[in-house]
């Protein structure tokens, strides 16, 4: 991150898109706490800090008369908590790049913090509008992007704004630096053996990821709903399990490609099946390719877990994206929780492990083992795209091509 910022006005894009309850109270402040190291480092340097973030989707959830629902989406809801987290009386501008922002940033002193109103109140934000970005840029001498979670979006405050700053006056914040450095530990010559664990609902969401990892992982474990497309592609009977028939050929291609590249592709041998998609469904454990009609696979079974175990415990680097079953229901959470334990155990033995993607992060948090893995990414979709090999707009805007 940039240094020597005493008395400089520093515009920082953070990700304060925190969940709020009906009384506008913050129910999970993780994203705010993740931004604290950058804010603290800037305060220590004596910089005047101008923070901006989006909160929710105010353009999509307009009021009946077409206006923005300010009372719901205002960042003012965050001021008190941010003040207590930073031990600083945070100032608030009720616009984002408007007159009040200009006046308040002008008067902002080193060490002080100004929070701007929701970036998405301006319809130009999600279009990457240059005028809006220019107004934001005019508030500061320096731009710092610490919002990894939105780095895959070419929005004004994450991407276009950076065009207004010379290379020496823009940088990543500490959180974003950390996210990129950890993802690169997996992507650039990972320690071997390298095991990738992919779960979640749909193959279509993860194809690019699987294709990419076939190029360099030693083992790929497939779990979750998407496993059944692979099982059907190998002529298995999958009953009423989730399947994407339009992706059967692709699943076959991936299986062949894994053979060609000598990648150990592990598809769950057995499954916990249910007679309905419900927490109180009847369940049984069967081989994954003999699931009767009227039943659906909702978790991986014990044989599958046994087969996965050595590939995880002996790995030196591990990437995990997506739950192995419908972990939100206790009856189908065992596979995911067992994987969490294996990843934690491998990490404790010295493997590097990265857990990324929204649901696997919730799963590792629910397992109580979050502090035993090497790195948990804050950037669901952004991390997915980064791992797929895309150059994210928010990163390109700082680093160049």
For residue 268, which of 312, 304, 220 has the smallest C-alpha distance?
304
**Where does this chain bind ligand AMP (CB under 6 A)?**
200-202, 205, 224-225, 242, 297-298, 322-323, 325-326, 328, 357, 359
- Which of 165/295 has CB closer to ligand AMP? 295
Residue whose entry in the numeric block shows the structure tokens 């696997």: 360
Four-CA torsion 310, 314, 316, 318, nearest 10 degrees: 20
Question: What is the layout of strands, in order, in the sheet containing 270-274?
Answer: 283-287, 270-274, 296-300
Q: C-beta of 166: minimal distance to ligand AMP in Å?
A: 39
Whether 57 is catalytic is no
- Which of 171/377 has CB closer to ligand AMP? 377
Residues 6+ apart with CB under 8 A from 145: 12, 13, 151, 158, 162, 170, 171, 172, 173, 176, 394, 397, 398
How far is 245 from 273, CA to CA, in rounded Å? 20
Whether 358 is catalytic is yes
- Which of 261/277 has CB closer to ligand AMP? 277
- Which of 81/202 has CB closer to ligand AMP? 202
Q: Which of 200, 224, 358, 379 is catalytic?
A: 358
> Token digits for 138?
């005019």
Beta strands in 5-112 (DSSP E): 9-13, 48-52, 91-93
Q: Is 400 helix (H, G, I), strand (E, B) or coil?
A: coil
> Token digits for 8?
């400089």
> Token digits for 393?
């707009």
Q: C-beta of 288: minimal distance to ligand AMP in Å?
A: 10
**Angle between the 174-187 and 380-388 helix axes, to the nearest 10 degrees?**
40
CB 53 within 8 A of CB 15: yes
CB 306 within 8 A of CB 340: no
Residue facing ligand AMP at closest CB distance: 200
- Which of 35/298 has CB closer to ligand AMP? 298
Q: Which of 76, 94, 191, 202 is catalytic?
A: 202
Q: Which of 31, 120, 135, 334 is catalytic?
A: 31
- Which of 165/228 has CB closer to ligand AMP? 228
Q: C-beta of 346: minimal distance to ligand AMP in Å?
A: 21
- Which of 70/286 has CB closer to ligand AMP? 286
Q: C-beta of 278: minimal distance to ligand AMP in Å?
A: 12
- Which of 75/343 has CB closer to ligand AMP? 343
Q: C-beta of 362: minimal distance to ligand AMP in Å?
A: 9
How far is 148 from 50, CA to CA, in rounded Å? 18
Q: C-beta of 271: minimal distance to ligand AMP in Å?
A: 8
Whether 381 is catalytic is yes
Bridge partner list, 265: 220
* Residue 276, CA atoms < 13 Å, CB-side half-sphere: 5
Q: C-beta of 255: minimal distance to ligand AMP in Å?
A: 19
Q: Is 206 helix (H, G, I), strand (E, B) or coil?
A: helix
User: If you ran DSSP here, which 8-state letter would residue 164 be given?
Assistant: G
Q: Which of 76, 381, 390, 396 is catalytic?
A: 381
Q: How far is CA 119 from the centre of its chain?
A: 20
Q: Is 102 helix (H, G, I), strand (E, B) or coil?
A: helix
CA quadruple 43, 142, 378, 386: dihedral sign: negative
Q: C-beta of 323: minimal distance to ligand AMP in Å?
A: 5
For residue 390, which of 125, 151, 171 has the smallest C-alpha distance?
151
Whether 202 is catalytic is yes
How far is 189 from 42, CA to CA, in rounded Å? 33
Which residue numbers are catalytic?
A: 31, 202, 358, 381
């Amino acid at each position: 991150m940039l240094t020597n910022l005493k008395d400089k006005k520093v515009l920082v894009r953070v990700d304060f898109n925190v969940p709020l309850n009906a009384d506008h109270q913050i129910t999970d402040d993780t994203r705010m706490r993740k931004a604290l190291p950058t804010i603290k480092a800037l305060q220590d340097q004596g910089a005047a800090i101008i923070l901006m973030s989006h909160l929710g989707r105010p353009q999509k959830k307009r009021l009946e008369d077409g206006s923005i629902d300010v009372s719901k989406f205002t960042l003012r809801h965050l001021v008190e908590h941010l003040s207590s987290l930073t031990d600083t009386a945070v100032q608030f501008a009720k616009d984002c790049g408007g007159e009040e922002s200009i006046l308040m940033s002008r008067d902002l002193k080193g060490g002080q913090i100004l929070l701007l109103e929701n970036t998405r109140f301006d319809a130009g934000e999600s279009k990457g509008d240059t005028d809006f970005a220019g107004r934001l840029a005019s508030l500061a001498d320096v731009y710092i992007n610490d919002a990894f979670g939105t780095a895959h979006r070419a929005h004004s405050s994450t991407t276009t704004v950076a065009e207004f700053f010379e290379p020496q006056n823009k940088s990543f914040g500490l959180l974003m630096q950390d996210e990129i450095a950890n993802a690169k530990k997996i992507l650039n010559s990972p320690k071997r053996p390298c095991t990738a664990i992919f779960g979640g609902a749909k193959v279509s969401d993860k194809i690019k990821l699987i294709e990419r990892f076939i190029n360099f992982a030693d083992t790929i474990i497939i779990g979750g709903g998407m496993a059944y497309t692979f099982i059907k592609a190998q002529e298995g009977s999958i009953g009423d399990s989730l399947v994407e028939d339009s992706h059967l050929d692709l699943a076959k291609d991936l299986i062949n490609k894994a053979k060609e590249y000598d990648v150990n592709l592990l598809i769950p041998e057995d499954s916990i099946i249910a007679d309905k998609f419900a927490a109180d469904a009847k369940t049984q454990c069967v081989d994954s390719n003999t699931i009767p009609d009227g039943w659906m696979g909702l978790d991986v079974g014990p044989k599958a877990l046994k087969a996965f175990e050595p590939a995880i415990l002996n790995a030196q680097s591990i990437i995990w994206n997506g739950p192995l079953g419908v972990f939100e229901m206790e009856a189908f959470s065992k596979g995911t929780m067992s994987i969490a334990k294996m990843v934690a155990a491998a990490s404790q033995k010295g493997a590097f492990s990265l857990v990324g993607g929204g649901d696997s992060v919730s799963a590792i948090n629910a397992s109580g083992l979050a502090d035993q893995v090497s790195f948990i990414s804050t950037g669901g979709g952004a991390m997915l795209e980064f791992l797929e090999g895309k150059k994210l707009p928010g990163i390109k805007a700082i680093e160049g091509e």
